[in-house]
Structure 1
Amino acid sequence: MTAMTPALEVRSAREVHAGAVLAVLSVAAFLASLDLFIVNVAFEHMGRSFRGASLADLSWVLNGYAIAYAALLIPLGRLADRFGRKAGFLLGLGLFTAASAACAASTGLWGLVVSRIAQAVGAALLTPTSLGLLLNATPPDRRARAVRIWAAVGSLAAAAGPVAGGLLVELSWQWVFLVNLPVGAVALLAAVRVIPDSRDSARGPLPDLLGAGLLGVAMGALSLALVKVEEWGWTGGRTTVSLLGSVVAGGLFWWRSSGHPAPVIEPALLRVRTFAWANLSAFVFSVAFAANLLASILWMQQVWQYSAVRTGLAIAPGPLMVPLFASIAQRLSRRVEAGWLAASGCVLFAAGATISMLWVGAVPNYMTGLLPGWMLGGVGVGLVIPTLLASATVELPPARTATGSAIVNMSRQVGMALGVSLLVALVGKSVGGELRTAFGHVWMAAALLALGAAPLSLGVNTYKGVRP
């Protein structure tokens, strides 16, 4: 047998190394992406476990995570860029895994919420560092393919999450967190061995962690006002204080962003037209998405009395549409402008939510009531989200692309937190016949918000932004 030449040996070793790095980082990304659907499916079972907990209180299991993740995603990513991405990734993955164990061990609702926030901190650290490490460890000619695989694994998590969550909840809701422990531990050990470190050569200013805290307070206060509005009233003193607190914290956040050398959001980026419109559209659409998702799950479990497994299987077809139509959108983008693709997806999602509002009844009618609208919504998501993510950074300089992508993801998380809060505000403590009306209002709101996101999406068609 002819011996392999040194050049081929080096190339083969590099390919194996790059493949191992991709596998480890994709597994970590899978864990962070899995959280959304798997916890939503377990939401009803958590409520039964914590007797006396209202829907408003339970919402913080979802919102605490979303708010902390959104506020910390950019500053923690920048800290890792400065001090070492590998150390940041290992710390984030370790914290996410340990916090998952703490979630499973929680005996009270607020202990679970605190553990979920810790989980979000870990996810906010491991997500940007995993992409940065992947780009550094992959040869330039293979980076685009590696990033597509890394992103596809996240889509796979969204598709697998409902079914996995349903199966695990049949054991107990704690298992939706315990499943992270062996996967996280193996990924952590593998990462220590195979992932090379990287960091920025230029040491810029420290990121604005105080600004991130103000952003978290602004989002948290607004969410609090929404989820407590039924108890406090729209004109109640506590509602007014929460709303004012949100406005003040948001104003201080923007003031700091305008003068800080390393703000969470660089104001100059928002002068880039495509970036600004993509963020606004992604935010509004995510409010609709989160409200529609949780409404569909809660309806099946609370009204139709579906088991967690049956709910997971019923939810799965929607997420399965996302990667399929994301691929179709990519092919269509050669002939159709991005704004029209995203706007079409918004309209399809709105049509799906409208179908749910009109056709879903108290008597289970999954095949003729919920499924058509749910799958149509999945088609819409597949057209909207990947298109907006790709379009948001098209006008940004290369040095701002990673930051721009992180800001869009932050906008999505903020929208999802408000979507959950909107559902709580509309459903509240409704029972009996009121429940059908309340959920109908949620689906109507989701449809109107998605329709509102459609014209906003058209803003990404105009490539005349000002580069920061």
Structure 2
Amino acid sequence: MAVDERSPSPVVPGAGPGGGTAAVVGVLSIAVFMSSLDLFIVNLAFPSIGEEYAGAELGALSWVLNAYTIVFAAVLVPAGRWADRVGRRRALVAGLAVFTVGSLLCGTAPGVGWLVAARAVQAVGAGVMVPASLSLLLAVVPPERRARALGSWSALGALGAALGPVIGGALVEIGWRWVFWVNLPVGVVAVVLALRLVPESRDLTRRSRPDLFGALLLALAVGLVAAALVEAPDWGWTSRGTLGLLVAAVLCAAALVVRSAGHPAPVLAPGLLRSRSFSGAGAASVLYYAAFGAFLLNTVEFLTQVWRFTPLEAGLAIAPGPLMVLPFARLVAPRLIPLLGGVGRVAALGCGLGAVGQGVWLLLLQAEPAYATHLLPAQLIGGAGVGLAIPSLLGAGSAGLPAADLGTGSGVLNMARQVGTVLGVAALVAALTVPAPDPLTALRHGIALTIAFFAAAAVVCLAVLVRPARPPVRR
């Protein structure tokens, strides 16, 4: 069943042969769970990968994560526009297939370079399937049930990211390649279910081709900034190499802005960005996911390098935080919106809880393992914050999106999340490699950086997202 998005409502009352709306939401949530899971599932595999690949350092291994995230971010918006044109279910199935093939290549990579390249293939698949899944969800679910469905979708995405180290830690005990091979059966099942249960949806009015060169400029801008942050501790913050990378990043970003202003299908859609709620949610998402990415990697490094936990023990130690996400996203956040006076304040509260959780950890941090009294409270507070912040940011950004821009808008919002993750991980690597008298001091620097990102996200939410949303202007 195809949907003509020129109609006033994109809602599809049915859900395809053999499935209801809940089943469709479940299938679509698999896509975001898988893509988010693979953002962080490799963290606990870093030591094992480094041992097999001639002891690669953290800076080099961070590109196994950053390559995925940068390509993911660059692909999202063009893929969203492509999905609007050719059919969102078709794009979802294609993305799932590419992601699954990329996972197979990651698991068979003979070296770090090959692994980074295979992660880029994975990211292309993820970048196609995520905006397609979100735009399909917005098209299928009736407006009165959309907030809860968005909460489930985004919560499962956050759960996937947070469970990455947990699942990764368990799989590394078998072998680090299983971190990627675990996606193969899930990907095959998701393709079959999507073809059986998910209805087709497309924008029949869209004719412009996605801006692939703009996507390349975006990838270069983000990648150059990440490279500068990773290499600056060794090269020097004022060295020619570091400054050259930053200048090149600024030039690529400027070229992207100029190109987007005149392109019929730009990566940065000016019409969407003129919406206060949309652009505010995007900016807050960049800062929040910078904190989220830095927090996860910093926690993994602390548990494995300072407390000397095994990968499985570290994964289990992180698990209580992710377990807080789904109930807070599904049950608590929707009830807080009317109580606090809007989704922006709920998002700010979630960001603030993230900062509080990290502050508690900073105060209690010690070299001797004391999980229940020192790390667990921070995990629980932070997990609650994730459950409040992520669906609220997504809800604030997608409120009022024109029907024909569902794929594009969701691509921009997800792009903001990936850009934030890249910058957060790169900034954390820079913080951890700054000379320090002991590993604990370096980790304190990482926690302070994370608190700053969370707090900045909360400020943006309060400054921008507490006012009533205005619908984006369609370009």
TM normalised by structure 1 equals 0.90
Q: Determine if contact 2:83/2:407 at 8 Å carries over to the other structure.
A: no
Q: Determine if contact 2:321/2:384 at 8 Å carries over to the other structure.
A: yes
Deviation at 1:47, TM superposition (A): 2.5
1:217 aligns with 2:211: no
> Which residue number corresponds to residue 364 of structure 2?
359
Deviation at 1:107, TM superposition (A): 1.8
> Which residue number corresponds to residue 79 of structure 2?
76
Q: Distance in 2 between matches of 1:12 and 1:384?
A: 29
Alignment of 1:181-330 (within 5 A): 181-326=184-329, 327-330=331-334
Deviation at 1:380, TM superposition (A): 1.7
> Which residue number corresponds to residue 449 of structure 1?
453
> Which residue number corresponds to residue 54 of structure 2?
51
Deviation at 1:305, TM superposition (A): 1.2
Deviation at 1:146, TM superposition (A): 5.6
Distance change (3 Å), C-alpha of 1:343 and 1:203 = closer
Distance change (3 Å), C-alpha of 1:334 and 1:422 = same
Identity %: 46
Distance change (3 Å), C-alpha of 1:129 and 1:347 = closer
Deviation at 1:20, TM superposition (A): 5.7
Which of the numbers 413, 417, 427 marks the counterpart of 2:418? 413
Per mean C-alpha deviation after superposition, the further-off stretch among 274-283 and 249-258 is 274-283
Deviation at 1:437, TM superposition (A): 1.1
> Which residue number corresponds to residue 128 of structure 2?
125
Q: Determine if contact 1:274/1:395 at 8 Å carries over to the other structure.
A: no
The structure whose RCO (Cα within 8 Å, separation 6+) is larger is 2
Q: Distance in 1 between matches of 2:23 and 2:346?
A: 35
> Which residue number corresponds to residue 344 of structure 2?
339
Local SS of the residue matching 1:212: helix
Q: Distance in 1 between matches of 2:17 and 2:108?
A: 42
Distance change (3 Å), C-alpha of 1:140 and 1:375 = closer
Per mean C-alpha deviation after superposition, the further-off stretch among 398-407 and 363-372 is 398-407
Deviation at 1:112, TM superposition (A): 0.6
Local SS of the residue matching 2:210: coil
Q: Determine if contact 1:159/1:320 at 8 Å carries over to the other structure.
A: no
1:434 aligns with 2:438: yes
Deviation at 1:130, TM superposition (A): 2.7
Deviation at 1:55, TM superposition (A): 1.1
Q: Determine if contact 1:342/1:384 at 8 Å carries over to the other structure.
A: yes
> Which residue number corresponds to residue 373 of structure 1?
378
Aligned residue pairs: how many?
A: 458
User: Between Structure 1 and Structure 2, whose CA radius of gyration is higher?
Assistant: 1
Deviation at 1:147, TM superposition (A): 5.3
TM normalised by structure 2 equals 0.89
Q: Distance in 2 between matches of 1:282 and 1:192?
A: 32
Q: Determine if contact 2:103/2:118 at 8 Å carries over to the other structure.
A: yes
> Which residue number corresponds to residue 92 of structure 1?
95
Deviation at 1:247, TM superposition (A): 0.4
Q: Distance in 2 between matches of 1:17 and 1:332?
A: 28
Deviation at 1:191, TM superposition (A): 3.8
Q: Distance in 1 between matches of 2:472 and 2:192?
A: 42
Per mean C-alpha deviation after superposition, the further-off stretch among 127-136 and 311-320 is 127-136
Q: Deviations over 1:238-269 (max 9, x none)?
A: 11111111000000001111111111121222
Q: Distance in 2 between matches of 1:23 and 1:328?
A: 20
In structure 2, stretches of 5+ residues that fail to align are 1-13
Local SS of the residue matching 1:116: helix
Which of the numbers 66, 70, 83 marks the counterpart of 2:69? 66
Q: Deviations over 1:194-237 (max 9, x none)?
A: 54444321232111111111000000000000000111111111
Which of the numbers 17, 28, 33 marks the counterpart of 1:30? 33
Local SS of the residue matching 1:380: helix
Give the AA of the match of 2:334.
Answer: Q
Give the AA of the match of 2:317.
Answer: A
Local SS of the residue matching 1:461: coil
Distance change (3 Å), C-alpha of 1:144 and 1:386 = closer
Distance change (3 Å), C-alpha of 1:90 and 1:341 = closer
